Structure 1
Amino acid sequence: MSGRLPVVLLCLFLAVAVVLGIDPYDRSDWLLENALVVLVLAVVLAGHRHRPLSGVAYVALFAFLLLHEVGAHYTYSKVPWAQWWQALCGIAPSPARNPFDRAVHFAYGLLLAPAVSDWTAARTPLRGRALRVVVVALLTAGSALYEMIEWVAAEAFGGELGTAYLGTQGDEWDAQKDMALALAGSLLWALLPRRLSRA
C-alpha cells in the first residue's frame, strides 16, 4: 500500500469537514457528532505508525466518515437526500421518514469492517471465517454501544439538541433498526470475496 494514501485521504477528509463545518444546520449537534470523528481519527492515527491498515480499510473508513460529515452538517434527519435523488434520477421519492441515518448505520457495518478486520488480524491469530465472525460480532457490539451512548447524550443534553442527536424521527424502534442495519452491513462484508473484504 502506498504510504501516501492515508495522508491524501486525511487531507481530503479534513478539507470536506472544514467546508461542511462552516455553516452547519445546528452547530451544537455538529460539535456533538464530530466528537465521534475526533475519537476515530485519534485511534487511527495512533495505530497508523506501528500497524497501518490496508488501502481498502483506509478508503472504506474515508467513505464512512464523509457520510457521517454530511449527516453532521444537516443533522441526520434533515439531510436533503430526496432532492438529491430527484436531481439524480428525475423521480421524487415520498418516504414517511428520512432514511439517510439508516443508510449510514448500514454503511457503518459495511465500511468499518475492513478496518476492524485489519486491527483484529494484527492483534490476534484469527484468520478466515473465524476472523469474519469476530469482526461481525465486534461491529454489532459497537453499534449497540453507540446506541447507548446516543441515548445517554440525548438524556444529558435534552431539548432540541438531544432530539437532533438522537434522530429517531418518531420511531420507537429506531435503535433496534439501526443496530439491525449495522449487522446487515457487516454480514454483507463477511460474504464478500476475500480480495474485496481483505479477511
Structure 2
Amino acid sequence: MQLPADLRALPAAQFRALAALALMLIIAQIDQPFPEIAWLHHVPTVLLLVAAPMLLRRWPLSDGAVVALVLFFALHTLGGRYTYSSVPYDDWVRSLIGSAPSDWFGWTRNHYDRLVHFAFGLLFYAPIREIGLRWLGQSRIMAAIVSIGFALSVGALYEIFEGLLTLVVAPEMANGYNGQQGDMWDAQKDMGLAFVGSLLAAGCVRWSGRRG
C-alpha cells in the first residue's frame, strides 16, 4: 500500500513523530473514562494530524520544530483522555516511589492543566519563531516578539473559548472540559504559565545562540 504524496514527502523523523501521535490518540480512546467530554479535547489533535502532512509539504519545518509540536499535542492527548482535572499523575508517581507531588507540595487540586499551559508556551515558541524566520522574513528580534505574543494571544483566546463554552453546553460538561476546579483565577494563571514558558524558551534559544 502506497502512502499519500504528502506523507511520503515528510522527513522520516517527522513521519515517525506524527505516526506516534496518531497511535497515542487511538490508544487514548480504549476504555475511555470520559467519552462525553473527550471528543472536545481530541478534535484539535485530529485536525493537526490531517493537516500537518499537507502544510509541512508546502511550508517545511525542522525536525525539532515538528517534534516540539507533537510533544505538546501528546501532553494534550493524555489530558484529553482523563480530562485535565483527573489525570492520575499522583497515582503513577506514588506507585513508583511511594509518594506523590501532591504529598510533597500540599496540593489540593490537580495541576496537570497547569503543566500543559506552561508546555504550550515552551513548545510552541520554536515552531512559531521558525515560521517567522523562514517563511515570513522576520528578524530574530521580531520573530521572538511574535512568538511570545503568540503564546499570550492564543492563550487568551483559548480562555475566552472556554468561557463561551460554559454558556452553550451543560454545566457539568463545561466544568469537566475547563478544569477550573473552583479557582476563580484559573484563566489568569493558565495564561501566565504560557507566558513564562515562552519566555523560558526564548531565553534558552538566546543562550544557545550565544554559545554557538
Question: What is the DSSP-based 3-state SS (H/G/I as helix, E as strand, rest coil) of the residue aligned with 1:21?
Answer: coil
Shift of 1:12: 0.8
Contact 1:154–1:165 (Cα < 8 Å) also in 2: no
- Paired residues, what number? 196
| 2:30 is the counterpart of 1:22 | yes
The aligned amino acid for 1:100 is Y
Matches within 5 A, 1:1-199: 3-92=11-100, 93-94=102-103, 95-193=107-205
Shift of 1:170: 0.3
The aligned amino acid for 1:179 is M
- Greater shift in the superposed pair: 170-179 or 80-89: 80-89
Under a length normalisation based on structure 1, what TM-score does the superposition of the two structures give?
0.91
Contact 1:51–1:122 (Cα < 8 Å) also in 2: no
Q: What are the Cα deviations for residues 173-196 of structure 1, in whole angstroms up to 9, with x where unaligned?
A: 101100000000011010013596
The aligned amino acid for 1:106 is F
- Greater shift in the superposed pair: 89-98 or 75-84: 89-98
Shift of 1:123: 3.1
For 2:151 and 2:51, locate their aligned partners in 1 and report how far apart those are by CA, in whole Å: 16
Give the unaligned 5+ runs of structure 2: 1-9
Pair 1:47–1:133, CA change in 2 (3 A): same
Contact 2:133–2:140 (Cα < 8 Å) also in 1: no
For 2:18 and 2:197, locate their aligned partners in 1 and report how far apart those are by CA, in whole Å: 24
Pair 1:58–1:119, CA change in 2 (3 A): same
Pair 1:24–1:7, CA change in 2 (3 A): same
Give the unaligned 5+ runs of structure 1: none
Contact 1:53–1:115 (Cα < 8 Å) also in 2: yes
Larger Rg: 2
For 1:25 and 1:158, locate their aligned partners in 2 and report how far apart those are by CA, in whole Å: 18
- Greater shift in the superposed pair: 16-25 or 172-181: 16-25
The aligned amino acid for 1:3 is P
Shift of 1:53: 1.2
For 1:35 and 1:172, locate their aligned partners in 2 and report how far apart those are by CA, in whole Å: 27
RMSD over aligned Cα atoms: 1.9
Identity %: 34
For 1:26 and 1:127, locate their aligned partners in 2 and report how far apart those are by CA, in whole Å: 45
For 1:178 and 1:118, locate their aligned partners in 2 and report how far apart those are by CA, in whole Å: 24
- Greater shift in the superposed pair: 116-125 or 134-143: 116-125
The aligned amino acid for 1:96 is T
Contact 2:34–2:83 (Cα < 8 Å) also in 1: yes
Shift of 1:87: 3.0
